[in-house]
Amino acid sequence: MPFFFTGRGAIALLPAVLLGVHCSSGGPNSSGSPIENVDAGASVADAPGVDTPPKLPPAESSFIDVPAQSTSFRSASRIFYSFQPTLSVDNKPQPLLVFFNGGPAAATSTCLMSYGTGPFTLDTPGAGEDLPHANPRTFARFANLLYIDARNAGFSYNFRTTQNDIGDCREFMVEDAIDFLRVLFRFLINQPGLRHSRVVLVAESYGGARALTMAHLLLHYDDPSVPIPDDLRSEIRGHFDTFWPEAAGGTHTMAAIGREFARLVLIQPFVGAMQYPAQRPLLESDPYLNAFGPGRSNYDVRERAGWEVRMDQRAMMALSDEASSRALLGFDLALVRAIFPDERVNVVRPWATFDANAETLFRSRFGSLGRSDGYLASRGNFCTDDGISSPVLDSNEAIQWIPEVLRFSRLFLTNARYDRAIHTPGLFVLLDEIGLSTEVDREPRPGVDRPGWFRVKLPANANLEQTVEVRFPTYEDAGHMVTVRQGPDLADDVANWLSEAD
């Protein structure tokens, strides 16, 4: 039989590790060498083996202002996004993949955007080993790409409005998800060509908890008991009415929203504190992880500790260089008005992690900033006043939404062989702990290069399918940052999964 069932067992507590805070954090005085310029004329159209459609919507990078949060960040924020259009020549609307890293407050710009997903990439392990180069197996072959930096991370920055910028964080998970939904829907308002594109949330690490929360809010967008701000609720309703014009004016169903608008690709996801003890016994017995001694990176045990920091530094150096950043973004940062110092009055970025050499390059391009500001942070502060501790990673809030997301949405999970920070097979134990039995199928299937699925039996609910299947392929040459080494393979698998889901 190709199936096995998970079981319940005695579980000890795993020491609290800041899961998903990377891509990584480098020190404020991190060293690194400037990356040489790529060809100043390079563009996404130079990617070999990729046909450029005759009329691509333009790439763009910009900021969207979001208001202060109620219990977490009590200051307004300017959140950075980067959009790169599909390279597909198919005339039908292509999906919009919304990429974000975790942390909380790890930069998407220095992680998923820079490594293995876009038309240009830095994907050779190490630091400073090559320039951005064309990525012929980019996700843009079959989708539009939207990258979002979390509040105060990456290029995003906060404005100081009160003496104490950080509150008690009791609603952080929902408030953080609302930030991302604000950016997504305000972006869509300005992109009429994308209003009929399906949306897929592509989240790494802590981004898994954020994606589950975003999906929960979308499924309940018309429920007044769910704390969605009125202006955002109106924007969501307006978009759904455009997406489903035949049902405009009514409440769109959870089944339709999950099927068409809340698909999730979770890359080594953190979903809640219960995951720590659930995964510990499996970590201790995993032969691939235990083949390596001490002093290794939790994010890829084949590498020495600090490897993930060097990956961040390399991305920051590339993005601080004019031509390299143009390749990675598909856009010239000098065209973004809000990047310049005169737009950043009263900006404060406490506990953010910058690279000194990259900041020097940025300041030579755009001008000097105030003492509390910096152009690009590999990570910001995440609802904490010391940059280290946080109640957020002790939360299990997102876990309660797993059953409804499984019931209504389609889900893709990665299983990276050399990741010690997140051991995704531990999710089977976690699902068992919340009363959901699973069965795993690793048998080959026709037309699928990389097998891997599991089925979840959900509680009975009239007129709804009670057993759902989740895609769960193993990436044999990957750690936590799957796109660094196996981004092309992940892109192919996601493309096939989306095609099958259609």
Whether a cis peptide bond, with omega within 30° of 0, leads into 245 is no
Range of weakest confidence among 21-25, 233-237, 486-490: 21-25
Q: For 275-303, how does the pLDDT look when each residue is reduced to its tens digit (9 = 90+)?
A: 999 999 999 999 999 888 889 999 999 99
Each as own residue / partner, the long-range contacts of residues 180-183 (CB below 8 Å, 24 or more positions apart, any chain) are: 180/98, 180/100, 180/148, 180/150, 180/210, 180/214, 181/214, 181/217, 181/218, 181/228, 181/232, 181/236, 182/64, 182/66, 182/79, 182/232, 182/235, 183/64, 183/66, 183/79, 183/81, 183/148
Q: For 121-132, how does the pLDDT look when each residue is reduced to its tens digit (9 = 90+)?
A: 997 665 455 689
CA atoms within 13 A on the CB side of 349: 30
What's the rounded Cα separation, in Å, for the pair 395 and 387? Answer: 18
What's the rounded Cα separation, in Å, for the pair 11 and 278? Answer: 7
pLDDT reading at 48 higher than 90: no
Contact 147, 81 (CB under 8 A): yes
Q: For 147-190, how does the pLDDT look when each residue is reduced to its tens digit (9 = 90+)?
A: 999 999 999 999 886 656 777 777 788 899 999 999 999 999 98
Assigned token pair, 77: 């924020």
* pLDDT band per the 50, 70, 90 thresholds, residue 92: confident
For residue 351, the model assigns a pLDDT of 82
Q: What are phi and psi of 138, to 5 degrees?
A: -65, 155
Q: How far apart, in Å, are the Cα atoms of 478 and each of 79, 234, 303, 309, 483?
A: 30, 41, 11, 17, 8
Q: Delineate the domains of the chain, giving CATH numbers in brackets.
A: 44-501 (3.40.50.1820)
Q: For 384-440, how does the pLDDT look when each residue is reduced to its tens digit (9 = 90+)?
A: 655 556 677 788 888 999 999 999 999 999 999 999 999 999 999 999 999 898 999
What's the rounded Cα separation, in Å, for the pair 136 and 128? Answer: 21
> What's the N-to-C CA distance of the chain in angstroms?
29
463 CB contacts (<8 Å, ≥6 apart)?
Answer: none
Residue reference for tokens 């499996």: 282
Q: How far apart, in Å, are the Cα atoms of 65 and each of 79, 97, 132, 187, 218?
A: 6, 21, 30, 11, 21
Q: For 77-89, how does the pLDDT look when each residue is reduced to its tens digit (9 = 90+)?
A: 999 999 999 998 8
Q: Where are the alpha helices (DSSP H) in 354-410?
A: 356-366, 402-408
For residue 10, the model assigns a pLDDT of 29
Contact 38, 323 (CB under 8 A): yes
Q: For 345-372, how does the pLDDT look when each residue is reduced to its tens digit (9 = 90+)?
A: 989 887 889 999 999 999 999 999 988 8
Q: For 309-351, how does the pLDDT look when each residue is reduced to its tens digit (9 = 90+)?
A: 889 999 999 999 999 999 999 999 999 999 999 999 989 887 8
What's the rounded Cα separation, in Å, for the pair 474 and 485? Answer: 13
Contact 404, 219 (CB under 8 A): yes
Range of weakest confidence among 145-154, 197-206, 250-259: 250-259
For residue 430, the model assigns a pLDDT of 92
Contact 75, 124 (CB under 8 A): no
